[in-house]
Structure 1
Amino acid sequence: MLRTLGLILVALSLAGCTPPPTARLAAGTPLETVPAVDADRYLGLWFEVVRADHGFERDCDGVTAYYERREDGDIRVINRCWKNGLEGEFDLAEGRARIVNTNSNAELEVSFFGPFFGDYWIIDLAEDYSWAVVSEPKGRYLWILTRDPQPGDAFIEARLAELRARGFNTDGLIRPQQWNSIEDMPRSGLPG
């Protein structure tokens, strides 16, 4: 029993040391966030249009993130996806986020599992809050979020070019299926 437990712990620790397949090429240089985020303008519904591959969103399409204020000042996070296509099985994860850097509001931590938090850094943001690019300090994770589920190929290519200029490897990024419009999107799991 102890040997099995030991092997599991070794496997988990090795898995934790393995970087995701899409990462920042210039990992030694500090990743910069945007200078300022109006947290209240950032709240609401976002559509994931590009992401780096990672286990917790494997096979997810129609991915959305919804943010709203909690009574304690933190942010309620509702992540939704449909497995293996827009007609697939619905999956919901609810967590909370807290602002770590109150000077900029661009550095947050998000938790879906009790006391365990992961970094959520806003590294690019449209002036009108119509899109955002999110990563973490080492650039191992990456999301392009938009308010429109279909922002178009030219928009995505422009964001990818900017990411490459910042030292990101954009090979292997995932473009999940997304709803044709906000009206086509199911409201399952969203407030109100």
Structure 2
Amino acid sequence: MRLFKTCLALATSLLIAGCAPQPTPVTDTVTNLDAEAYMGTWYEILRLPNSFQEGLHQVTAEYRLNEDGTFEVTNRGYNREKGQWSTAVGKASPVEDMPGSFTVQFQWPFSGGYNVVELGEDYEYAIVISNDHDYFWLLARSPNAPRWLIDQTLAKASSWGFDIDAMIETRH
């Protein structure tokens, strides 16, 4: 009888969880990323908190295209508490048959997904997420992105299931 009650409770929990509203998954990346247009300096506007960027302000990412189609990434941010700059250099490799998706590695053997899910028409902004939804960035070509872009991005992030209350607006 105890086993029956346990199975019934488990089945009920799964049924209730299945009825809960689910966030809209982000499955599509941009379909035609022009790698050369994407290169250059980007300013971080929004991010989900993460351990490797803790306490960083004035965050930028600079991309340089390599001859083999990969690109070098230099991320930089200023830690005001420590009074010093933090820099990380990595390499991004395109994922075959998935435009806008890359595998980024800053420290061997660790790598992660870098997925460009939205780009401004003139590459003035980009929304980037990881494969597991643990990371989210809004990048722009200027450190002063318009408020409408930030609000629009937060609305999209919320619909995609990201915790927008945790988002950090980067100070420049």
- Band the TM-score falls in, shorter-chain normalisation: 0.7 to 0.9
Name the structure 2 match of 1:50. Answer: 46
Taking the aligned partners of 2:91 and 2:45, their CA distance within structure 1 comes to: 22
Moved more, 53-62 or 72-81: 72-81
| 1:103-114 map, 5 Å | 103-104=98-99, 106-114=100-108
Q: Which amino acid aligns with 1:90?
A: W
What is the Cα deviation at residue 167 of structure 1? Answer: 2.8
Distance 1:66 1:166, change over 3 A: same
The aligned length equals: 152
TM-score, normalization by structure 2: 0.80
| 1:123-138 map, 5 Å | 123-138=117-132
Q: SS state of the match for residue 171, structure 1?
A: helix
Asked whether the equivalents of residues 31 and 138 of structure 1 are also in contact (C-alpha less than 8 Å), the reply is no
Is 1:122 paired with 2:116?
Answer: yes
Taking the aligned partners of 1:137 and 1:73, their CA distance within structure 2 comes to: 21
What is the Cα deviation at residue 26 of structure 1? Answer: 4.5
RMSD value, Cα: 2.1
Q: Which amino acid aligns with 1:150?
A: N
Name the structure 2 match of 1:96. Answer: 91
Is 1:36 paired with 2:41?
Answer: no
Name the structure 1 match of 2:156. Answer: 162
| 1:13-32 map, 5 Å | 26=22, 29=25, 31-32=27-28
Tell me which of 48, 55, 69 is aligned to 2:65.
69
Is 1:81 paired with 2:70?
Answer: no
Taking the aligned partners of 1:164 and 1:89, their CA distance within structure 2 comes to: 33
Q: Which amino acid aligns with 1:160?
A: L
Distance 1:31 1:169, change over 3 A: farther
Structure 2 gaps of 5+ residues are: 1-20
Taking the aligned partners of 1:64 and 1:123, their CA distance within structure 2 comes to: 19
Name the structure 2 match of 1:146. Answer: 140
Once the two structures are aligned, what percentage of the paired residues are identical? Answer: 32
What is the Cα deviation at residue 152 of structure 1? Answer: 2.7
Name the structure 2 match of 1:177. Answer: 171
What is the Cα deviation at residue 103 of structure 1? Answer: 4.9
TM-score, normalization by structure 1: 0.72
Q: SS state of the match for residue 80, structure 1?
A: strand
Q: Which amino acid aligns with 1:88?
A: G
Asked whether the equivalents of residues 48 and 64 of structure 1 are also in contact (C-alpha less than 8 Å), the reply is yes
What is the Cα deviation at residue 154 of structure 1? Answer: 2.3
What is the Cα deviation at residue 29 of structure 1? Answer: 4.2
Taking the aligned partners of 1:42 and 1:28, their CA distance within structure 2 comes to: 27
User: Radius of gyration: which is bigger?
Assistant: 2
Name whichever structure is richer in helix by fraction: 2
